A and B are shown apart, each in its own frame.
Chain A
Amino acid sequence: MALYNNKLWLLSHIRDSFISTDDTGMSELVMVGDDVPKQLADKLDCYRDPEDSEDDEDTSHESYDFHLDVDFEVQRQRSNTAVRLEKLDNAKKRAAKVKNIKWEFSPVRPTEQELGELFVRKEPKKNVSNTRKSLLSEKLEQCTNLPQNPYIEYAKFDGSAQVGILTRKYKIFLTMLPEEHRNYPMTVSCIATAKIEELIGFILLKCSTIHGDFPLKPVSHYGLYITEEDGEVDHDFPNLDPKESVAKFGFTCLGLVEHKQITKNVSFESSQTIIQHEGSDEINKISSKLHMDDAQQITANMHLMKVHATAMEAPLYQSYRVYIVNKMRAKAEIQLGISGEKIEIDPLQQKNSKFTFVRQKPVSHHIDSVAWCEVTDTKSSGTAFRVVYSSSFGGGGGSTNVNVNVGSIQSPILQTSTSFKHYDFEADHNTAEEIVQKINLILELRSSGSRKEYLASRERKQRRRSFHSNK
């Protein structure tokens, strides 16, 4: 730009910038008095004609007011005519690059000499039949076992350089390619009448010619997804329906994703892996093996998800049928209800037996009174587990305190001499595990005073025991 060579212009531009951007107005106060660029003008710009400077049209540098360029108009919607005119104009420009030669027949008969130069009778080459190998044969022999490109049938959907046919241009991110090729899109042009699966085939054809060494799977293994301009595949939407025409979809930026399982819709696991794939470079560098065992990654992720889900579900009410075991080792079937607020023990009517050795009253304990839960014994018949609770919690009602009022939770500080009691239950292994896990998750979440106290007393006991044993 010529202006950047102009010292004067630069100087006044700096000055104007100061004035126009300084909100305090100090710059303007200081600088408006003496127009340095003007003073320097004659010194700096010795080539400038002093007369010319007066009626110079380009005096914009001398004023710091904003000048809107005359050409700068508010953009308005262009009419169809304007678009068509531009198209015609472009066609004309293109045509201008083509040299046109009209048929011209010169009436002047060429001289004998010219004729002799132009139309020379040549002896046809004799004995051309000596069989020398052609380059084509050589090339073909070099790649005799060339496997047929499986996607060659999709070549006809190529939209590049088509005349008179509607075509569509896409930026395709190839998410299954190695890292270095995955970050930039491949531009693909296909005819507008192609179906999505045909577009996928054509993308794979193009991909196989560019990245020849990369193994590709049949078309049905891939799906096209709506993708951000930066290559981030949007998994909130399902893949574009392979049977639909490309013209139905208006997206120009798509991501080709290899499905882990050949399903119509990508499952959650596969989207997990893709997120993993597109994770930061560091992760990829640290564990390059990550790509190697995708399956392991998926299971790990799934496990994490499961743990998370159970933790989330822990405070939700759930009831189990278990046996309560009293001190006499007698069992009675009860319903154990566990929620984020309380644990309820309800006896079940035992219809099949008239004798019940254990009479269990319905009991409810506020969850904050529960201190501990653990598996105590694992037998082949079932698993025994113990729930420890504070008997003095909630007004010291004791273990048989029916319906502890949830509203009247007392401060755990008051429970100075807590006595802990426990229930023993028995259930099949899986149920027991599940209950213990559920209760412990709730306890971890709440970490009540009873629990802390129980843990502390247990620690004290252990210390004492070790002290005794050391003696």
Chain B
Amino acid sequence: MVVEGSNENDQIILATGGYDHTIKIWQTHTGICQRTMQHAESQVNALEITPDKSCLAATGYQHIRMYDLASNNPNPTVNYEGITKNVTGVGFQEDGKWMYTGSEDCSARIWDYRLKSPHAAKIFQTSAPVTCVCLHPNQVELLVGDQSGVIHLWDLKTDHNEQFIPEGDTMILDIDVDSEGTHMAAVNSKGRCYIWSLTFGREGEPTKMHPKHKFDAHKRQALKCRFSPDSTLLVTTSADQTARIWKTCDFTLLQELTQDNQRWVWDAVFSSDSQYIFTASSDGCAKLWNVKSGHMEREYAGHQKAVIALAFRDAVL
């Protein structure tokens, strides 16, 4: 029921957005654009699909906009405002109870996005613009990275927070925690990747973070890091025109995904069985790669400008 006339593709949603002020929904196995939505006034910084797959959230300058995936409405249905600068990240609690965002106005926020529980709204102030937000799979701890190189661990239940500084004055660009909640990865503007192993805090206590590994993933800025759903792989994307897949057992390189003239690789996401990976790049294309072979399988062309955000929902058979 995602898009009309695509019943066979019901459960798979791939959305891309970027600098051309549009969001496109793709039929993943054919590479055909099914739908284009307007994101007026600003570029798309980040995209996320709600857990019930009914809506797509897109963040831009000062706004978070919600698009209906069930209809063909090219305009947003809900507009969240009140942030003074770019909204850099968005995500949802796994049951869709609330939405979290990070923004360059030095804050991370919890939104009661369905207007059901007015007391859900929360704000967490940082000293530098927030570049990324990531929810721990335990659903109560939010990891917030900022431009000064600090990673904040914010406990939503107690509002207790802790700070980690892997490398001073080096912008943290992305953080991810694997689905089992045992490892955390962060990448910075020097292309370095940091790995922590996480141990569960006892009831009420925050998660403990133990630095485990660090390596130079890229020569230039690393832009995104993402664990595979089975936690065996980690993908990092970079301004050096590549996306690299690392094995999490020893952090050795498994594949380098690169193509001539693809320019900056902004975003990447694994399929639910960790066999494929989508990337978004400045050449205006999203691409699908086979993880095992490292070959590009599909190309999703149609954007006028750089594609910088991806949202993907797969289904398990």
Q: Which residues of A contact B (CB under 8 A)?
A: 94, 97-106, 108-111, 114-115, 117-129, 131-140, 142-143, 146, 149, 152-153, 155-156, 158, 160-165, 191, 209
B138–A137 contact, CB under 8 A?
Answer: no
Given contacts A98-B79, A121-B138, A123-B138, are A146 and B20 in contact (CB under 8 A)?
no
The 9 tightest CB contacts between A and B, nearest first, are A103-B82, A124-B181, A110-B119, A161-B36, A124-B137, A134-B273, A163-B21, A139-B29, A134-B272
Given contacts A123-B138, A132-B317, A135-B314, are A118 and B301 in contact (CB under 8 A)?
no
16 interchain pairs (CB within 8 A)?
A: A100-B79, A101-B79, A104-B82, A108-B119, A110-B119, A114-B117, A115-B157, A122-B138, A124-B180, A128-B179, A140-B29, A140-B288, A158-B302, A161-B36, A163-B40, A165-B304
- Which of A110, A140, A161 is B120 in contact with, Cβ under 8 Å? A110
In the complex, the chain A residue whose C-beta lies closest to that of B116 is A118
Given contacts A121-B139, A124-B138, A136-B28, are A131 and B273 in contact (CB under 8 A)?
yes
B70, chain A: closest CB distance, angstroms: 16
B31: chain A residues within 8 A (beta carbon): 149, 152
B39: chain A residues within 8 A (beta carbon): 163
B316–A119 contact, CB under 8 A?
Answer: no
B255 contacts the other chain (Cβ, under 8 Å)? no
B82–A136 contact, CB under 8 A?
Answer: no
A133–B317 contact, CB under 8 A?
Answer: yes
B232 contacts the other chain (Cβ, under 8 Å)? yes
Once bound together, how far apart are the Cα atoms of A128 and B11, in whole Å? Answer: 20
- Which of B20, B301, B317 is A153 in contact with, Cβ under 8 Å? B301
B317–A142 contact, CB under 8 A?
Answer: no
Given contacts A125-B137, A135-B11, are A143 and B79 in contact (CB under 8 A)?
no
A134–B271 contact, CB under 8 A?
Answer: yes
B51 contacts the other chain (Cβ, under 8 Å)? no
Once bound together, how far apart are the Cα atoms of A115 and B284, in whole Å? Answer: 43
B29: chain A residues within 8 A (beta carbon): 136, 139-140, 142-143, 146
Knowing that A99-B79, A101-B113 are A-B contacts, what are 9 other residue pairs whose CB atoms are under 8 Å apart, sorted by A's residue number? Answer: A98-B79, A114-B117, A118-B98, A134-B276, A136-B28, A142-B29, A162-B21, A163-B39, A164-B40
Interface size class of B (residues with CB under 8 A): 35 or more
B297–A125 contact, CB under 8 A?
Answer: no
B218 contacts the other chain (Cβ, under 8 Å)? no
In the complex, the chain B residue whose C-beta lies closest to that of A127 is B180
A161–B74 contact, CB under 8 A?
Answer: yes
B121: chain A residues within 8 A (beta carbon): 103-106
Q: Which residues of B contact A (CB under 8 A)?
A: 9, 11-12, 20-22, 28-33, 36-40, 65, 74-83, 94, 97-98, 109, 111, 113, 115, 117-123, 136-140, 156-157, 179-182, 203, 229-232, 271-276, 284, 288, 297-299, 301-304, 314-317
A121–B140 contact, CB under 8 A?
Answer: yes
Given contacts A119-B139, A152-B299, are A103 and B80 in contact (CB under 8 A)?
yes
- Which of A104, A137, A163 is B38 in contact with, Cβ under 8 Å? A163
B181–A118 contact, CB under 8 A?
Answer: no
B232–A129 contact, CB under 8 A?
Answer: yes
- Which of A136, A146, A165 is B314 in contact with, Cβ under 8 Å? A136
The total number of A-B Cβ pairs within 8 Å is 186
B102, chain A: closest CB distance, angstroms: 14
Given contacts A161-B37, A162-B20, A163-B39, are A137 and B271 in contact (CB under 8 A)?
yes
Once bound together, how far apart are the Cα atoms of A133 and B11, in whole Å? Answer: 14
B200, chain A: closest CB distance, angstroms: 8
Q: SS class of chain A's interface: helix, strand, loop or mixed?
A: loop
A140: chain B residues within 8 A (beta carbon): 28-29, 276, 288, 297-298
B167, chain A: closest CB distance, angstroms: 27
Once bound together, how far apart are the Cα atoms of A103 and B81, in whole Å? Answer: 6
A139–B82 contact, CB under 8 A?
Answer: no
A236, chain B: closest CB distance, angstroms: 36
Once bound together, how far apart are the Cα atoms of A118 and B301, in whole Å? Answer: 40
A444, chain B: closest CB distance, angstroms: 62
A109: chain B residues within 8 A (beta carbon): 119
- Which of B12, B22, B139 is A162 in contact with, Cβ under 8 Å? B22
B140: chain A residues within 8 A (beta carbon): 119-122
B4, chain A: closest CB distance, angstroms: 14
B203: chain A residues within 8 A (beta carbon): 121
In the complex, the chain B residue whose C-beta lies closest to that of A152 is B301
Once bound together, how far apart are the Cα atoms of A212 and B102, in whole Å? Answer: 44
Once bound together, how far apart are the Cα atoms of A302 and B40, in whole Å? Answer: 57
Once bound together, how far apart are the Cα atoms of A373 and B21, in whole Å? Answer: 80
B137: chain A residues within 8 A (beta carbon): 122, 124-125
B230–A128 contact, CB under 8 A?
Answer: yes
A134–B74 contact, CB under 8 A?
Answer: no
A100: chain B residues within 8 A (beta carbon): 78-79, 81
B139: chain A residues within 8 A (beta carbon): 119-122
Once bound together, how far apart are the Cα atoms of A402 and B193, in whole Å? Answer: 112
B78–A137 contact, CB under 8 A?
Answer: no
B77–A98 contact, CB under 8 A?
Answer: yes
B83: chain A residues within 8 A (beta carbon): 103
Once bound together, how far apart are the Cα atoms of A438 and B21, in whole Å? Answer: 72
A59, chain B: closest CB distance, angstroms: 46
Once bound together, how far apart are the Cα atoms of A153 and B181, in whole Å? Answer: 42
- Which of A122, A138, A146, A152 is B317 in contact with, Cβ under 8 Å? A138
